[in-house]
């Protein structure tokens, strides 16, 4: 599989490392251009390359891992998504430490907003509920598997993402559609944060 990332910081690097270990190819992109990602690519090793946003967005699976306030810019002007899968790892922080203010969502879930900014993409919300350190950690904890919540409106896309993260070692748990499942796993809701390990 080819996985692209829009954003190349902690979350994207954690996901990229799992993907590479599982034998996939990853193209990482950021706002400043591929030439700024040399160290990251070197650290991730063979299987990783730096690309433009457009190159990353052309992959089979695309991970959105940019700050919420930059999401409109990060998705702007990309070619038609043609049903490709956009994995939304974002959380709607308007600011980071120390105050962590939330951006207004005007009654929608953050992933519904992401979907509206990426017409034609099949959006699956995933990787947003754990801190980057836990995303990066070995998913096969204490003989179990780390649970990864996901939600989305396209059953086949969710299945494909579930298979992908299973190949990384996680135990995916489908919460439903972007409106209901997406809400349960977004900031300030019960499934944002808990680190669960499944033993069965």
Ligand X SMILES: NC(=O)c1ccc[n+]([C@@H]2O[C@H](COP(=O)([O-])OP(=O)(O)OC[C@H]3O[C@@H](n4cnc5c(N)ncnc54)[C@H](OP(=O)(O)O)[C@@H]3O)[C@@H](O)[C@H]2O)c1
Applying CB under 6 A, the residues found at the interface with ligand X are: 6-12, 30-32, 53, 65-68, 70, 73-74, 89-91, 93, 128, 131-132
SS3 readout for 40-58:
HHHHHCCCEEECCHHHHHC
At how many degrees (to 10) do helices 155-168 and 10-21 cross? 80
Question: From the CB of 123, what's the least distance to ligand X, in Å?
Answer: 14
Question: From the CB of 15, what's the least distance to ligand X, in Å?
Answer: 9
- The alpha carbon of 4 is separated from its chain's Cα centroid by a whole number of angstroms, namely 10
What separation in angstroms does the CA of 9 have from each of 12, 47, 83, 109, 136?
6, 17, 26, 23, 12
Question: From the CB of 198, what's the least distance to ligand X, in Å?
Answer: 20
| Pick 73 or 155: Cβ nearer ligand X | 73
CB burial of 125-135 (b: ≥16 within 10 Å; e: otherwise) equals bbbbbbebeeb
| Pick 91 or 151: Cβ nearer ligand X | 91
Question: From the CB of 200, what's the least distance to ligand X, in Å?
Answer: 26
| Pick 130 or 164: Cβ nearer ligand X | 130
| Pick 72 or 156: Cβ nearer ligand X | 72
């Amino acid at each position: 599989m080819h996985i692209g990332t829009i954003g190349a910081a902690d979350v994207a690097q954690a996901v990229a490392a799992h993907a590479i270990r599982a034998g996939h190819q990853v193209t990482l992109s950021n706002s400043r251009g591929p030439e700024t990602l040399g160290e990251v690519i070197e650290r991730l090793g063979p299987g990783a390359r730096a690309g433009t946003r457009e190159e990353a967005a052309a992959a089979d699976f695309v991970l959105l891992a940019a700050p919420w306030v930059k999401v409109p810019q990060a998705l702007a002007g990309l070619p038609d998504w043609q049903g490709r899968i956009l994995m939304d790892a974002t959380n709607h922080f308007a600011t980071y430490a120390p105050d962590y203010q939330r951006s207004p969502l005007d009654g929608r879930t953050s992933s519904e907003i992401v979907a509206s900014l990426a017409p034609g993409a099949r959006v699956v919300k995933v990787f947003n509920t754990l801190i980057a350190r836990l995303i990066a950690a070995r998913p096969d904890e204490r003989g179990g598997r780390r649970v990864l919540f996901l939600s989305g409106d396209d059953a086949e896309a969710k299945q494909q993402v579930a298979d992908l993260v299973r190949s990384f070692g996680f135990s995916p748990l489908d919460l439903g559609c972007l409106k209901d499942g997406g809400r349960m796993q977004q900031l300030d809701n019960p499934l944002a944060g808990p680190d669960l390990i499944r033993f069965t």
